[in-house]
Each structure stands twice: as C-alpha cells, then as structure tokens.
A and B are shown apart, each in its own frame.
Chain A
C-alpha cells in the first residue's frame, strides 16, 4: 500500500503546478547553502558557532510556524477524501500515508541545511562527522513530524467554529511581528529618535548573549546541533547519545500523533462548522446619505463580513494586527510612533478587502441581472468598508494622538484619512482587476478551505495605501496643512477611482462570472475559453 501511495504522490507532484514548489526548492537550497557556507568559518572559529544555532532555530521555526502563517492552506497532497471510501483499516492507511509525507521539498531542503552540522563537526574527525550525520537524520525526523502535526492540528481546529478566530489570531501575530517586530530593536538602538536625537546605542557584536545561546541549545531545534558539537569536542558518549535519543523519541511521539490525527480525518468526513446565524433574521438598514439600493448592498456586506469564514478571518486579522502592533510599540520608548498605527490599520483593512468579488463568487450573477446594480454594488462595498475599516482607522489615529500627544499625531491622522480613502476606493477596484478565484462561496463552510490566494492584490494595494498615507505628512507642513492635504487627496481619490471601478465592472463582469464559474481566470481575457474547460455541472 505504501508503494501505491508513493506512486500516487509522485504522479500528483508530477502533474500538479510546479511554480510554487520550484520557487521553494530554489530559495530553500540557496538559504541552506548560506547556512552551510556559514558553518565552515564557524567550525574554524572565524565567526561564533552560535549563529549556526540561530539559523537552525529559525529553520526549525519555519517547520513549526510555517503552516500557521498560511492557515487557509491545506498542505496535504493526497486528499483524505479520496481514501475514506476504501475498505482498509484507518491506522494502516494513515501509517502508509505518513511515509509519503517524507516526499517533498521541505524535507529535502531541510536535510541540505542540516548538513551544516557535518561541516561543524568536521574538525573532530570521522567519528564526529558520523555522529553529526546521525544528528542530521534525527533532527530532520523531529522537525518533519513536529511541522506535520502542527499543520494537521491546525487543519482540524479550522473546521471548528473557533477556527475563524484562531486563523485570524495566527495571521495577526505574524503580521504584527513582521511590521512592528523591529521596533523594540530600533527603539533600543535609537531610544531618543522621537526627540530628533539620532545617537546610536551600540553593543558588542560577534556572539549572542550567553542566556540566549543556552536557550537555543536547549530547545529541540538545537539538540542535533548540541550532539554535533559534543561529538566534535570529544565530550564522550552521553552528551552525543542523549540528544539523539531525545530527538528520536520526540519525533516518534509526534509521528504517532500525526497518525492519530490522520486516522481521525480518515474515519470522519470533514466537519461542517455551523455558521454564525443571526439572532433575529435581518432587519433592514437605513443609512443617512445613501439610496435604498446602496443601503441594501451595505446591509449584505456587513452581514457577509461577519458571517463568511474567509472574510471573517480577514476582518479579524485587519482589526487585530494594528492592535498588536500598538501593543508592541507601547512597551518601547517609541510611544510617539503609536498614532501611526491608524494609517497602518487602514492599510490592513484594504488588504483584507482586496478579494471580495472572488470571495462572493458566482453570486455576481444576481448583480448582472438586476438593472443598475453594478454601480450600487461598488458604492455599497465602499460604504461598508468605510464603516468597518476606514472610520475606525481614523478614530484609532485620533485616539492614539490624544493619548500620546505625539508630534507625529497630525501627520498620522492626515495619513489615516488619505489611507482610508485609498483603501475604500482601491479595494473594490483591485478585487475586480486582480481576483484570486478559489472555492465558490456556496461550497465554503470553514476557513480551512481554499478561498483564493489574494497575495498579489494585497501586495499591490499595500504600497498604494502607504503612499497615500505618507503624502499628507510629507507635503502638508503644520498639522492643519497636513489635514487639508489629506482631505483634498481623499476627495480626489473618492471622486475618481469608484467611477473607474464601475466602468470596469460593467465591461468585465460577465468575464469575471465565467472565471468564477470555471475557476479559470483565463476567462477574464477577451478571448472566450473552450467549453470543455467549464465546470462539470454543465
């Protein structure tokens, strides 16, 4: 059975898309080569070997946290759905499947990276290298099963009702650390930047503080490293064998956990988390300054943001990330930077809403058959975005300015106004021109399902919103000038972009519907696609 599953996986890998896998392989091998290259001078004392421990810890962290950074991505190549109907014992099937998990880019590049241990141990002679090779294998075994178990656990949790919040918290933590994780370090190096003082506080470089290197060596990602160093230094059998035994025992335990989780997945069909239902079936929404048509769209949008699993993750992520960023900044001496979280919140809101047309999927047909609906739909989406993300981000900047009295407060509020306008008008436009088509709305029940990868749209809108946020501060001068420029900029954006979006929607909506019905964005090109490519229902 293992051989059949191996053959199936090889065939799937061969026939599947290669772009992402090839990119991971090349990038991974380059990074692994850098670690190996670094291990050689470390072995000879040119740089401190602690840095290899850092590299291996980061690499191990990728195995553990990698699946969490993409909470809506199912990493399994062989679907459990296909195997559920076979009259085979689940444990046997899961055990056979577990061996196929070793086949992939991740184990290969990790093995390449871990070969740095052999380079580190080389000065200790052949026996030390042999021990390092054993450490490589044991460390790889642990990392693979730790990563796979975390991914399987996350996949299971995502099918529960808390999955939406869980996925959002994971993503928000990763984003907040990516965008504000450098602030504590910068605040330590430049403690008085807020007062215009650029005096740099430097420290002794070359090696890590001792407690940090102790923690790295003691953590499971450092056990193989510890064994290799012990072998090189001739520290005796115990310091070499003990970490190897710990690696193998922990790896075996995690392997067993993964098998148990897979058995569960094989025995039970995927859970269909009951969606959040309205306590009282919806009431109409009346909004000032809007027509009933736009109010109807706003009402639909607000309900969808709160109830759709994919949009729910984006909404929570966009709200949580700026708050976590504020928390990170607040514990440093850079409290003057806090109001800048306001424009950042607008940018995250824009990124959250950059794929709404694809997420709503083929429901677009309802707009196409309703006279005048496309224009009202764009306006309604913008109004809902302003209520959920735009106004809160401006309010956040104002509150944090008031709380900190920061000299950048005026620029931050002006930036938040301009950024909110850019996000409000830009998100529907990019949702239309860069749709990331995934599972149709009617078939999505939990955030673990593929809902389209909007990274391209997010990477496009982020610099646009950032630019809009920066401009008022750069050209505005005093706070009132900044405010005035921000309002002018927002007016220009809001009067130009929505008209463009409506015009493009009128031109492209039928193609977009076709693309979503067939899950083939090639349908967005002017030439029609062959009918053979259409969905199987027809």
Chain B
C-alpha cells in the first residue's frame, strides 16, 4: 500500500506553542509503514496536539510533518489524500444519517462507484446499518467513533490517524473497531493512534511512544518499552504517580 523505505509519517522537531504554554517541544517521530503505532501519555501531554498537527488540522509553530514523504506544508493536498483521520470530540455533518454522510464524503472526495460496496460493508461490520434513519446528532459515543472510522476508511487511505479511538465506548463497540483495525494493518495499512487503553496498545501496536510534557520520553517496540512489566505498570513508573494519602472520612 505504501512506498517501501519511506516512513508513513515523519515528524521532525515539531513544536506547538499556545501563547506562553509550550504544548509540544521539538518532538520527532518516524513511523514505518504497515504497523500499528501507539502514542500514550498522561492527560495534557500533547498527544492530541501532535495528532492534529499530523493531519493538518493545526499549523505547528515549528517543525515539519511528512506524510508518505510529502510535506504537509508544501504538498498539503497530496499528503492529505493519503490520510484517513478519526478525531475525538469534534462534530460531523450532524444532520445526516450514516448512509448520507458516507455518500457526502464519497462525493466530496470524488470517489468512483466502488465506495458504495465499501460503505455497505463498513456499515454492516460496524453495526450501523441497523439504524438507517438515525441522524448523527442522535448517535451514542460508540456509534460516533464507528461512523468516524467508517469515514476515515471509505477512501481506502494507506495511513490512519486515530485520536483516542477506544475512549468512553462499550466493549462490544471497541471489539468491532479493533477487528477492523487488525484487518487494515494485516492488509499493509499504517495506524497511528493515541490511547489511554494500555491493554489495547500492548495487544495491537508494534511500537509505542510515551509522550510527557510535549516530549517523547521513551520510544520503541512495545516489549522493549514495557521492560518485562505490563505497559500500564511501566507507564505509571515512567510518568510517576504521587501516592494518595488516606482519606479518613472515607473509612
């Protein structure tokens, strides 16, 4: 699906400043094609900021982002064509049904007729075909994640960028999303995702980056980063967790 030897995503010295706050500090990542890559970190670490810069939703203060070798600043359209994106907490065309929003996306991208089959398949495997008249605005969190994933996959991009795909959804929805992502990676696709669900990252991602205070603290194969512990234990150890003093009134 991708040119061999060229990183799927290459982030170099990415810096994002919000006024006086330095959200991302010269962060660099190189993600090889055909793998699932996890970005983990505590709340406010800069994960979402990195992902939004990766998919062109924010102009970074400094640094470059290359998608399959194409610089997002100088070859934006070509770079974007390679991406499928699933962002968390943002609206969609809310007054459309699942079928309508997929048709809209296919039309907007000028896709050929093959999209109909793919849309039907995605709606079916993600369980969205059971509510054909329900508008997106009425969707639950899990259904939103699924339709956003369907939109991200509809044009068969070689790279998927997913912001917290498993947060606040039920295990059944998570399972169906996980299965789709497994198939996608098996077929040669690249997935870059942020998550707090260490179990998922450990199970599915080949490499992981632990981001703290806008910087990469550790990066490497998951087993290597975990150092014999579970990823969750290692994460707490790396990030550091203050002990919680006993609250007498809870006794």
Q: Which residues of A contact B (CB under 8 A)?
A: 274-275, 277-278, 281-282, 284, 291-293, 295-297, 299-300, 303-304, 306-308, 360-363, 365-373, 376, 440-442, 444-445, 510, 513-514, 517, 527-535, 537-538
Distance between Cα atoms of A293 and B49 in the complex (Å): 30
Known: A369-B83, A442-B90. 4 other contacts (CB 8 A): A282-B99, A291-B110, A297-B107, A527-B19
Q: Smallest distance from the beta carbon of A445 to chain B beta carbons, Å? A: 7
Interface pair A530/B19, CB less than 8 Å apart: yes
Interface pair B91/A360, CB less than 8 Å apart: yes
Interface pair A442/B92, CB less than 8 Å apart: yes
Interface pair B92/A366, CB less than 8 Å apart: yes
Among B59, B91, B134, contact of A363 (Cβ-Cβ < 8 Å): B91
Chain B residues positioned under 8 Å from A513 (CB to CB): 57
Chain A residues positioned under 8 Å from B20 (CB to CB): 530
Across the interface, name the chain B residue whose C-beta is closest to A533: B18
Across the interface, name the chain A residue whose C-beta is closest to B77: A371
Interface pair A304/B83, CB less than 8 Å apart: no
Chain A residues positioned under 8 Å from B48 (CB to CB): 538
Distance between Cα atoms of A202 and B106 in the complex (Å): 66
Q: Which residues of B contact A (CB under 8 A)?
A: 16-21, 23, 43-44, 48-49, 55-59, 61, 76-78, 80-81, 83, 85, 87-97, 99-100, 103-110, 132-138, 151
Interface pair B93/A304, CB less than 8 Å apart: yes
Q: Taking each of B58, B93, B110, which has the highest tally of chain A beta carbons within 10 Å of its own beta carbon?
A: B93
Chain B residues positioned under 8 Å from A367 (CB to CB): 108
Q: Smallest distance from the beta carbon of B213 to chain A beta carbons, Å? A: 12
Chain A residues positioned under 8 Å from B80 (CB to CB): 369-371
Distance between Cα atoms of A535 and B52 in the complex (Å): 15
Chain B residues positioned under 8 Å from A303 (CB to CB): 95-96, 100
Across the interface, name the chain B residue whose C-beta is closest to A361: B91
Distance between Cα atoms of A295 and B104 in the complex (Å): 9
12 residue pairs from A and B, CB less than 8 Å apart? A281-B133, A293-B107, A297-B104, A299-B104, A304-B94, A362-B89, A365-B85, A366-B92, A441-B91, A442-B90, A531-B23, A531-B49
Interface pair B21/A532, CB less than 8 Å apart: yes
Across the interface, name the chain B residue whose C-beta is closest to A530: B19
Q: Smallest distance from the beta carbon of B215 to chain A beta carbons, Å? A: 15
Distance between Cα atoms of A480 and B17 in the complex (Å): 59
Closest 3 CB pairs of A and B: A296-B107, A282-B100, A307-B95
Distance between Cα atoms of A530 and B132 in the complex (Å): 41
Interface pair A529/B90, CB less than 8 Å apart: no
Interface pair B97/A278, CB less than 8 Å apart: yes
Interface pair A445/B108, CB less than 8 Å apart: no
Q: Smallest distance from the beta carbon of A289 to chain B beta carbons, Å? A: 16
Chain B residues positioned under 8 Å from A281 (CB to CB): 97, 99-100, 132-133
Interface pair B56/A368, CB less than 8 Å apart: yes
Among B57, B88, B108, contact of A373 (Cβ-Cβ < 8 Å): B108
Distance between Cα atoms of A513 and B87 in the complex (Å): 13
Among B55, B89, B97, contact of A369 (Cβ-Cβ < 8 Å): B55
Given contacts A275-B138, A308-B95, A372-B77, contact A529 B104 (CB under 8 A): no
